[in-house]
Chain A
Amino acid sequence: MATVISLPITAPPTPASWIQDQTNAGQTISPASPFANLFANASFELKAIKLLPVGLAYLAHVRRSIHNHSFEEHDKHEEERRKRVKNDEGQANEDDLGVGDEEETSELLALDPKEWKKQDHYAVLGLSHLRYTATQEQIKIAHRKKVLKHHPDKKAGLAGDSNDDAFFKCIQKAQEVLSNPEKRRQFDSIDPYYMELEEEVPREKEARRAVERDPKEFFDTFGPIFEREARFSKNRPVPMLGGMDDSKQQVENFYDFWYNFDSWRSFEYLDKEVNEGSDNRDDKRYTEKKNRSERARRKKEDNARLRSLVDLALAVDPRMKRIKQEEKEAREAKRRKVKPGAKSGEDVEKKRQEEEAEKKRAEEATAQEKVEKEKEKKAKAKAAKDARRAARKAAEESGAPTPPNGAA
């Protein structure tokens, strides 16, 4: 709002003899408070006038006047208003399903349509934030947006090379690939963005060290990896890495699924082009054969890669440690359970049963998500403890009046 006028002058050096204020000598000016110095005897001439109620500036003046705003406050309000209007406009066109506008880098615009196989089709359509999650609708909208912007007809009047429709061709190619489910699947298989990420899988040593430092690290590192690998699965839903408190069953399910991962990933996209120009059948067959074997090799490699990834995850999974620990505890608990069970008398047995039921109810109420087995085990452990306590109590209170819930 506030424009700064830049003057082409250079102020002369203030003479050393200059005194700050001849009329108000002795007063100091404090830089902190703008209202510190009030010059009672200085005033300037004013006259009353009538503004013409015209234009934006008058509107701004009226707003300031009505709300009694200073210039700064008004600037702030105007900024907010502008944002709101922009928002409203954004909402007016909100049928873009979150496609949005991505910045077009100069590299992107300089893409060569002849090299279309190497281009990132999602980036070309401005969908690099959605990638394989983009729906056909979104792709359609993104394509339309790009075409509206880059169609050669739009550029005809502009300065520069009006015949430069290279990027438009790239857009068309990207649309062709992404709108065809089969071609899109092939491209998704080798999506260059994820190919790069795949390289970044941590090595076992560092992973192990990191997990030892903080078990949470495991989930932070491997969670996104499995999420992104899950897109290749033919079977749905795909179990995800989960959290620290997952049960043994869940963890086992997870690794079971991932060891038997059924991937649709394929590598046709990387095939060498069959030389169309040559009508040599042998040549063609040779290339095809090579492509087939290459695909098979890549697929095999990919499977191996995934397997080693799962291996790695399993090796450093902090839950496995915990589960082993729990199993050990459970075994010990079992062993201990036998002893108090022999000691318990008949009446104690009844009481114990009831208390157990109560405990169960309470447990249900707190809604702890525990697997059946664990619950039972815990309950049993508790029950054993209770039984012991009850036994002690019974021993202490023998002869005393029966407990209210007792049936003796």
Chain B
Amino acid sequence: MALSNGSARSRKSNPTVVGINFGNSYASIAVINKEGLADCIANEDGERQIACAVSFHGEEIYIGNQAKPQLVRNAQNTIINFRNLLGKKFSEIPKDQPIISAPVIQHPELPDVAAYKVAILQPAPTPLPPASVKSSSNTPATSVLPTPRSEPIPAERIITVQEVTSLFLKSLVQSAQDFLGREVDGAVIVVPSWFDDSAGAALKSAAEDAGVEVLQLLDEAGAGALVSITEPVEGLDPDRTSLLVDLGQSSLSLSVLSIRHGLLYAIGSAHHEDINTEQIDTKLVKFFTKEFTRKTKVPLTVCPSTETADKRAEAKLRLALEHTKRTISASPGAASCSVESLKDGVDFTGSINRMRFDMEVRTVYDSVVRAALDLLEGVGLEPLHVDEIIYVGGSASLPGLDETFFAKGFPESTITPFTAGTVIGGGIGDPTTLLARGAALQAQLLAEIANEDEQIHAAFRPESEHATVHATARTIGVILPEADAGDEGLGGQWVLGIPRDTPLPYRRFVQFDCDLGEEDKEERILGMELWEVSEGVKVEKIAPPKREKEEGEEDEDEEEEEEEEEIREKILKKEKQLGALAVKAEKARKENGRWKTRVQVQFLAHSRGIILIAAEVSEDGTGAPASIHIS
């Protein structure tokens, strides 16, 4: 009976899981903290954005942000951009791009395998002679040979892409273990949606080599949306259409997602390799180079640079730009860029303000937004129908990009991390940590169901049959007919039931007040019509308010520039009536001379039909439900 108080605290040992976002240029790690929220953690260098770079320098191996500066002087032995090569054969890798790091070569022994050749220093062999030459007295034999050199020997190491990945992942897991103080049992790794099976398999085996079990390879759209689902911004409908913008160093990924009560699927997605933040960097490098030459009269040719000195200068500038971009993202003021001894021993310090910055990279912003608009058009949506934009990637933290989205037709009501104010200070919308946090949330979910049967686990694999379902193509809802609604519009009050692109089965409860008129009748009926509607956009052009023409003002240039203002509005068009339902209002009450009641409507949809159930609700229980089934 007498249990000692401290001894019985033996909790079930939950598996320790982490979420890893493995980007091409940067990776991040997230864990679930004590409050049950996902948290992006910093590695031992204090970096939350861990550069995907591995550098070999003599006997040392630098991994992460320490490897990046090696690109200046030790570029031949520094490996970057290796993630995108995972699972690719050597022959499939494009070789026309300018290379600023260790070149990809054909593996000398394995056929068609991409590898890197790096120069390293091997530790010298032991100076003692081999054990076979032993004197009888069991002491080291005297040797006539001179003692071998104890310095390390230069050697070459061939390392495959998968080995580099494994090396890098191991360091990530080590960071997580150091942070948690526990062994990491499993991880969910975020991969881009274009990752194919071979790339996934290669990543999985690399992770296994690094000693971590991959619970799931999570699509980046899923990871991004999961944070938005789990920790939604206030005022966001649980049924929404979101646009996920992942602006990465090597490519732009866009997804239009349907989020319906937490279930999500990609309505459409696009991948643009020709839009990336490398372009932003290049533009900025050019900008600062011009300024450097103007200030110091030292000639510097970059992008492309040919001379070694120029190449190093460019590499230094690119490293320094990272800081500049972060400053621009974080604060509204000007950001500086300083490089010591940029070229010929001349230092450089320049600054750029927000406006200038946005001007320089305007073309990149515009191409991102254009790609998004194209994608939306492709799936038959308008910017008006996008409720939320989710940004992913360091460059998506640039406020200029968000502003461009709003300038190009996205309505004010669209919720972005910037309008919700969740970007700064590592908020929930922080594009740099979002994916890792999403992965951590998913990892926690998978860890919780670890003890459940195999069927459920199988459902989380990509080929699961449970993932394939039907979705509605059109919006379905109820129209409450109105006496003098006119011919335009829907002819009554619209109540949304099942939005378009909703995976089935689906259920929704709605409650609203009803006005039943002022006359006292025997029986009061509330009519409902179930309609399938199509969503459209009404464009109204409003002429700008005419300026009073002043006498004597002759030049008309300015007036011509003023365009008609476009006002876009969502509209619904009736397509097909599915059914009708009448609810007898028995619990109506008279308020201010009008009869009123409150009705709860349940929409229950599966792939075989819709059930519409409506019932009165009041303080004294619910009324008799009326329902129809539509197949």
Using a CB–CB distance below 8 Å, which chain A residues touch chain B?
2-15, 17-18, 20-24, 29, 31, 34-40, 42-66, 71, 88, 92-95, 97, 135, 137, 140-141, 144
Residue of B nearest to A53 (CB): B460
Number of A-B contacts (CB under 8 A): 252
Q: Decide yes or no: A49 and B503 within 8 Å by CB, A11-B493, A13-B517, A42-B578 being known contacts.
A: yes
Per the bound structure, the CA–CA distance linking A384 and B622 in Å amounts to 75
Task: Say if the beta carbon of B546 comes within 8 Å of chain A.
Answer: no
Candidates B266, B461, B504, B513; contact of A10 at CB < 8 Å: B513
B376-397 interface (Cβ within 8 A of A): none
Residue of B nearest to A44 (CB): B532
Interface size on B, residues (CB 8 A): 99
**What are the nearest 3 A-B pairs in CB distance?**
A57-B262, A95-B8, A54-B222
Q: Decide yes or no: A34 and B512 within 8 Å by CB, A50-B468, A52-B219 being known contacts.
A: no
The reply to whether A61 and B263 form a contact with Cβ atoms under 8 Å apart is: yes
Per the bound structure, the CA–CA distance linking A95 and B227 in Å amounts to 37
Most buried by B among A20, A45, A51, A135: A51
* Least Cβ–Cβ distance between A333 and chain B, in angstroms: 51
Find chain A residues with CB under 8 A from B12 CB: 88, 92
The reply to whether A49 and B629 form a contact with Cβ atoms under 8 Å apart is: no
Task: Render B570-594 as a binary contact track against A, CB cut-off 8 A, 1 for contact.
Answer: 0000001111111000000000000
Find chain B residues with CB under 8 A from A3 CB: 238, 509
Q: Decide yes or no: A39 and B469 within 8 Å by CB, A9-B513, A29-B628 being known contacts.
A: no
Task: Say if the beta carbon of B626 comes within 8 Å of chain A.
Answer: yes
Extra A-B contacts (17), CB below 8 Å, given A51-B466, A53-B464: A4-B510, A9-B512, A23-B577, A31-B627, A34-B629, A39-B628, A42-B579, A49-B470, A50-B265, A51-B503, A55-B264, A56-B262, A59-B456, A61-B466, A62-B460, A140-B5, A144-B5
Candidates A11, A14, A24, A53; contact of B216 at CB < 8 Å: A53
26 inter-chain pairs at a CB distance below 8 angstroms, sorted by A residue, are A5-B510, A24-B580, A29-B581, A35-B629, A45-B532, A46-B471, A48-B468, A49-B470, A49-B501, A49-B503, A50-B468, A52-B219, A52-B257, A53-B467, A54-B218, A56-B445, A57-B264, A58-B264, A61-B466, A61-B503, A62-B456, A66-B455, A66-B466, A88-B12, A95-B5, A95-B9
* Least Cβ–Cβ distance between B9 and chain A, in angstroms: 7
Residue of A nearest to B482 (CB): A12
* Least Cβ–Cβ distance between A269 and chain B, in angstroms: 28
Find chain B residues with CB under 8 A from A9 CB: 493, 495, 512-513
Stretch at the interface among B47-55, B363-371, B603-611: B603-611
Candidates B262, B514, B611; contact of A11 at CB < 8 Å: B514
The reply to whether A53 and B222 form a contact with Cβ atoms under 8 Å apart is: yes
Most buried by B among A48, A58, A63: A58
B1-38 interface (Cβ within 8 A of A): 1-3, 5, 7-12
B416-442 interface (Cβ within 8 A of A): 438, 441-442
The reply to whether B480 and A14 form a contact with Cβ atoms under 8 Å apart is: yes
B459-492 interface (Cβ within 8 A of A): 459-462, 464, 466-474, 476, 480-483, 492
Task: Render B516-547 as a binary contact track against A, CB cut-off 8 A, 1 for contact.
Answer: 11000000011101001000000000000000
Per the bound structure, the CA–CA distance linking A308 and B600 in Å amounts to 65
